[in-house]
Structure 1
Amino acid sequence: MSRLRALDARGPSVAPPPPGTPVPAEPRNLADLYRDHRMRMVRLAVLLVDDPSTAEDVVQEAFTGLHRHWAGLRDEAAAVAYLRTAVVNGSRSVLRRRRTARDYVPPHQVNARSAESLAMLSAEHQSVVDALGTLPPRQREVLVLRYYGGMSEAEIADATGISRGTVKSTASRALDAVQRAMAGRPGRG
């Protein structure tokens, strides 16, 4: 029996376990996963799309998709993997739409970050986020998933749909680019 599929009614036909028998943990439900993983997924999406409200929308869509596919999931790990993949794919879609919209913006308009988002970040964190912003989307995804998400190369490859070798080479190039970007900032050694 899957931990995710909680039985709503445990009728009288189910006998209580004998005394001293360890009672298994209650099966997890969607509300538990939402409570435990929502903020982590929002932070992941913020690092990918660089906008808190858009990140929340991406995560909400991911949880909506999880709800639609709930019956087909094997266990909690599969549900979390589904969420991560949905957040990465949703973030990619947002970035594609932004890129398309940017093509129609006159050159004199600049997309600036909000004062609130800038005030929320420390100077060091801001320099890292700025350096991430200079990377191509795939490089940014790989670094965010590796160092923020704590995912292995295999998990990143699975979530992004690229090979492990591509994950390794992309991460290496991205780290070099971030290091160069941060070394070129004023006031850094």
Structure 2
Amino acid sequence: METAFALAWVEEIAQRVAAARDRLTELDAAIGDADHGANLDRGFSEVRRALAESVPATPAEALTATGATLIRKVGGASGPLYGSFFRSMGKALQEGADFAEAFAAGVVAVERLGKAAAGDKTMIDALAPASKALAAAAGEGVEPTEAFERAARAAADGARATIPLRARRGRASYLGERSIGHEDPGAASSALIVAALGKAAPAW
């Protein structure tokens, strides 16, 4: 895994978040504060700036810097949650984990911080299936491109599966039954982040 891959992944995320900003905001308007798209777009714009000003030497440094910037610059719950995800990935890589293991460490960090589990109608509903797909692909020894495609499909399916769920965590949980029928914005943005892996794969 090259540093160029981590940088390409983050750059692709930033582009996809910018393109999906309005959709993410619309999803959040239905069951949240209507700021998810704007917050993430601003956060990844800051990440771009930070990585350009101080180019990381390793993938671990790139993801750690991404997480730290999101925590500092993004308001609401998404900054700390995504920040913890990327920082935990960076730490795991630094300690010798492979990519699937590092991704799993990031998911665990989000679960702990958000006190959420699969089925709670949160970003975990997209991230956890993606992590399982990556782990299975790693166990089979498949190429990164195929692994990332599997993860992206799993995350997208997980995000769509939040539509009929009643939210049990986050602001959406205050709506009770009214949260049913809406895709969770955090799951939607998580699926977008996982999908960005495929575009970055050539830099692996």
TM-score, normalized by length of structure 1?
A: 0.32
Whose RCO is larger (CA < 8 A, sep 6+)? 2
Q: Which has the larger radius of gyration?
A: 1
TM-score, reference length from structure 2:
0.31
Q: Which has the higher helix share?
A: 2
